[in-house]
Amino acid sequence: MPKSKFHVVTTVNGDSVEFLCEPQQTLLDVLRDELHLTGSKEGCGSGDCGACSVMLDGRLVCACLVLAVEANGHSVETIEGMAHGDDLHPLQRKFLEHSALQCGVCIPGFLVAAKALLEKHPDPTETEVRYWLAGNLCRCTGYDKIVRAVLDAAVEMRTG
Amino acid sequence: MQYESPQSVDSAVSLLAAGADDARVLAGGTDLLVQLRAGMIEPALVVDIKNIRETREIAREDGGFRIGAAVSGAEIGEHAALKEAWPGVVEAVELIGSTQIQGRASMGGNLCNASPAADTVPALIAAGAVCRIAGPGGQRDEAVESICTGPGRTSLAKGEFVVSLYLPARPPRSADAYLRFIPRTEMDIAVVGAGVNLTLEASGECSAARVALGAVAPTAILVPEAGEALVGSMLNEPDLERMAAAVRAACHPIDDKRGTVEYRVKVAGVMARRACGIALDRARSQ
Ligand SMILES: Cc1cc2nc3c(=O)[nH]c(=O)nc-3n(C[C@H](O)[C@H](O)[C@H](O)COP(=O)(O)OP(=O)(O)OC[C@H]3O[C@@H](n4cnc5c(N)ncnc54)[C@H](O)[C@@H]3O)c2cc1C
Ligand code: FES
Ligand code: FES
């Protein structure tokens, strides 16, 4: 008999988490609607906008294109794991300093994606930043301030 | 919808063979989830192949590389030895989507989704890549160009799936390249794609060549006449023009807002020449 609900055991932002889900539910649906982690946004639901960006086993992915059951036994990191209490991640501070946001819907995705970039390439060129973030769409800022905030955060994170 | 994540090739085959005809394999899901969510497909069974070891490894084999069908683009791009041996295949993989899509998208999925514009398929065909297919009758090996039969259609029978792709050993002075034309610089679908794979003699004469095209016919196509135009030549201007003429003659593109027939045919010749130039530089610099 096909099971209708799946029992999924996963790690979200370092905490062990269990949930029940339908096989067709996406990871994004479960993060937002079951786990109430609403930082990840659904902009398009088709992999085009990056507003749902999360890390799955250390890889940047679109949570809208992952089935929640696929997270079983794996580890997920979301925007909610980025700050430590009131202590913002350097990228978050730099986005604020550079006013790199307007409506803010795209920003959790940009932050998660930018963090993944700086972990892999601590000293990216502007071109590298723009290509890495090409899967994150923003309808407000025009991108320039976002790119500058990422480059500035990279400098701070390298020099400490 | 039933979801299964078998740990072995055999159990995946059993599940797919026993399932309804609309059962689907799930690799990275970057095509499948889009289709599921849009209601384009409603499969009763989805078989996730990512927990099967053979679909997730890149291994050396007989001087070539065996690449699991579900290995992600990001993993392929990070494999230095593979990139050195097959720069054209790897650059085609890396063109797929964004960083996020690269985290999941696989070559097996790109091939079996059977889009005429899929970027890795011309590069794999030019490379002479061979698929290992598992099914109820056991395993068989098939050339990549025999898999897609039309938009969204493949030659895979019920119960079958692609386990891995094999890229053969390289003679010295061999290199490949893939180029696509898109109206934007990122995140777009190929209007034309061209893959070229060359081997040179020590004299510089071309001893083997394969040219394949994407987005100019219902499936990616091998153009044997284009390769033949190069073999035995020193790859001079008239040789490249004969190759490009063979490419243009092989195109049967659609006419749409992204490009007219005339435009796609012309651009196919240009892309094939440029890809050939890149492959040649790579082969000469070895
Ligand atoms: C935003 C975005 C941008 C994209 N950009 C590009 C692009 O630039 N170029 C491009 O070519 N594609 C692009 N794609 C399409 C897609 O990412 C690729 O085709 C990708 O390679 C699919 O791989 P996957 O592992 O995600 O496949 P899945 O979605 O898991 O599967 C795709 C199809 O193949 C079948 N399948 C998968 N693996 C196997 C197997 N091993 N054996 C048999 N059947 C199998 C599935 O059942 C399904 O029908 C893009 C997609 C998105 C969402
Ligand atoms: S909501 Fe996932 S990419 Fe847009
Ligand atoms: S700040 Fe509004 S979409 Fe980016």
| Cα A127 to Cα A42, A72, B66, distances in angstroms | 27, 36, 33
CB-based contacts of B75: which residues, under 8 Å, 6+ apart?
A: B58
Residue of A nearest to B74 (CA): A59
CATH number of the structural domain spanning residue A149 = 1.10.150.120
Read off the CATH number of the domain in which A28 is found. Answer: 3.10.20.30
Closest CA to B210 of B122, B135, B281, B141: B122
CA-angle at B123, arms to B168 and B222, nearest 5° = 95
- The enclosing domain of B112 has a CATH number of 3.30.465.10
Question: What predicted TM-score, i.e. pTM, was given to this entire model?
Answer: 0.97
Q: Do B178 and B152 share a structural domain? A: no
| Host domain of residue A104 | 90-159
Q: Does B91 touch chain A (CB under 8 A)?
A: no
Predicted confidence pLDDT, tens digits, chain B (286 residues): 999 999 999 999 999 999 999 999 999 999 999 999 999 999 999 999 999 999 999 999 999 999 999 999 999 999 999 999 999 999 999 999 999 999 999 999 999 999 999 999 999 999 999 999 999 999 999 999 999 999 999 999 999 999 999 999 999 999 999 999 988 766 678 889 999 999 999 999 999 999 999 999 999 999 999 999 999 999 999 999 999 999 999 999 988 888 899 999 999 999 999 999 999 999 999 8
Out of A50, A60, A67, the one facing B29 most closely (by C-beta) is A67
Which tokens sit at A36? 């109430």
- The residue out of A81, A100, A134 marking a domain boundary is A81
Residues B259 and B279 in one domain: yes
Chain position carrying tokens 């970027």: B119
In this structure, the residue with its CA closest to atom 3 of ligand 2 is: A47
Number of structural domains chain A divides into = 2
| pLDDT higher than threshold 70 for residue A3 | no
Tell me whether residues B29 and A65 touch, CB distance under 8 A. Answer: yes
B232 CA from centroid of ligand 2 (Å): 50
Q: How far apart are CA B211 and CA B220, in angstroms?
A: 11
- pLDDT bucket at A2, cuts 50 / 70 / 90: low
Q: Are residues A29 and A95 in the same domain?
A: no
Take residue B193 and report the two structure tokens written for it.
């794609």
In a domain, A17, yes or no: yes
> Which of B112, B185, B258 for mutating ligand 1's site (highest number of atoms within 8 Å of CB)?
B112
Same structural domain, B101 and B233 = no
Q: Are residues B18 and B156 in the same domain?
A: yes
Q: Is the CB of B114 under 6 A from ligand 1?
A: no
Q: For residues A107 and A153, state if they share a domain.
A: yes
Residues A75 and A96 occupy one common structural domain:
no
Same domain, B145 and B178: no
Range of the domain at B234: 174-284
pLDDT in tens, A112-136: 999 999 999 999 999 999 999 999 9
Q: Does B50 touch chain A (CB under 8 A)?
A: yes
Do A40 and A57 lie in one domain? The reply is: yes
- Nearest 5°: CA angle at A31, between A69 and A81? 115
Q: Are residues B192 and B105 in the same domain?
A: no
Q: What string of DSSP letters covers B57-120?
A: -EEEETTEEEEETT-BHHHHHT-HHHHHH-HHHHHHHHHSS-HHHHTT-BHHHHHHTT-TT-SH
Nearest to A139 by CA among A109, A97, A96, A94: A109
